[in-house]
Amino acid sequence: MTDPQLPVAVTCGDPAGVGPEVICMALADMTPAERAGLLLIGSIPVLERAARLVGAPIAFRDGMAGATGEAVAVRHIDVPGMPIPFGLLDPRGGELAYRCIVEAVRLALDKRIAGIVTAPINKEALNDAGHHYDGHTGLLAYLTGAKASFMLLASERLAAIHVSTHVSMLDAIARANTARELATIRAGHAHYRRLGYAAPRIAVAGLNPHCGENGLFGREDMEAIAPAVLAAQAEGIAVEGPIPADTVFYRAHAGEFDLVVAQYHDQGHIPMKLVAFDTTVNVSLGLPIDRTSVDHGTAFGIAGTGRANHVNMHAALAYARRLAAAPA
């Protein structure tokens, strides 16, 4: 358990995207007491623009969270030129997003916040600003000193943890080795145990069609994945696999498994976004801090129109509060 009395921090993401909008929409749904339990990390001018855009009667103040009136607490991050135009790929947006994440991690490591909820960043803008990471997951692992991190997508009926995410297919195949497979299974098992599952039921998806058909379509499933499953079973983990990917998600959605180990980004993301596009939460496992996120991007194409959906932000906040109350 962290401390459910500590605030949950929300980083505002790329200022040219929909992140500030969905944050302000979510704030408008909350009571003053609920807002008092949050700490936004971002640019106050960016947030004020978003609040005006969505018609949210929200005021902001620079400072830490707490019941000090109606204004929402913001850890103001000053980057020149804010706010930048909506939908603009700009290194200034990447710089603001980066600094917000750095500040959030610092506060989390210092035990001043219960966890972090992140609004979307633009990876190209992040790299254009000189910060060369594959996205939140890699950046958070670097900032916290974690040896490895894992992306979990969680919804009410389906969940997937990924062996690899933002890498090429060639690199994804290379990462599907026994050590990484076993580490991924262990991370998923530990997380669901933390959430109160006595014996989480885990299924490992195969990498190749039909798990390789005994080597006919590739040998990775029997030479790299199956040994990891056997090792995890020897540790007492309730895991099965490899199971053909074209059926395992159906079986999990039907209630047979609590979690699926997906071998690469699209293998896990496609079924998750198909069945729970608005409510899937992105959770980082393997870090010394708790982090959840919306499972959508910056949506530059609709940023500034007020058409963004904030349901996913509510789901990410709810998951973060759940983790704050769960044993560490």
Backbone angles phi, psi at 305, to 5 degrees: -95, -15
Q: What is the DSSP-derived secondary structure letter of residue 90?
A: -
Q: Is 28 within 8 Å of 58 (Cβ atoms)?
A: yes
pLDDT digits (tens, 9 = 90+) for 22-57: 999 999 999 998 999 999 999 999 999 999 999 999
**Domains, the chain, ranges and CATH?**
1-149+286-328 (3.40.718.10), 150-279 (3.40.718.10)
* Stretch 194-211: mean pLDDT: 97
Q: What percent of the chain has pLDDT over 90?
A: 91
Give the tokens for residue 272. 């998750």
Q: Is 225 within 8 Å of 207 (Cβ atoms)?
A: yes
Helix (H, G, I), strand (E, B) or coil at 212: helix
pLDDT digits (tens, 9 = 90+) for 71-120: 999 999 999 999 999 999 999 999 999 999 999 999 999 999 999 999 99
Residue 67 has pLDDT above 60, yes or no: no
Residue matched to tokens 């997937």: 160
Q: Which parts of 184-280 are beta strand (E)?
A: 202-205, 239-243, 259-262
CA distance 108 to 104: 6
Q: Is 13 within 8 Å of 110 (Cβ atoms)?
A: no
pLDDT digits (tens, 9 = 90+) for 108-137: 999 999 999 999 999 999 999 999 998 898
Residue 68 has pLDDT above 80, yes or no: no
* Stretch 241-250: mean pLDDT: 98
Residue 328 has pLDDT above 80, yes or no: no
Give the tokens for residue 82. 């804010």
Which helix (H) or strand (E) element contains residue 76? Answer: strand 72-76
Which helix (H) or strand (E) element contains residue 291? Answer: strand 291-294
C-beta atoms surrounding 186 within 10 Å: 20
> Which residue would you say has higher pLDDT here, 328 or 19?
19
Which helix (H) or strand (E) element contains residue 268? Answer: helix 265-276
CA distance 259 to 202: 5
**pLDDT of the residue at 1:** 47
The rounded mean pLDDT for the chain is: 95
pTM, two decimal places: 0.92
**pLDDT of the residue at 66:** 67
**Whose CA is closest to 187, among 269, 285, 283?**
285
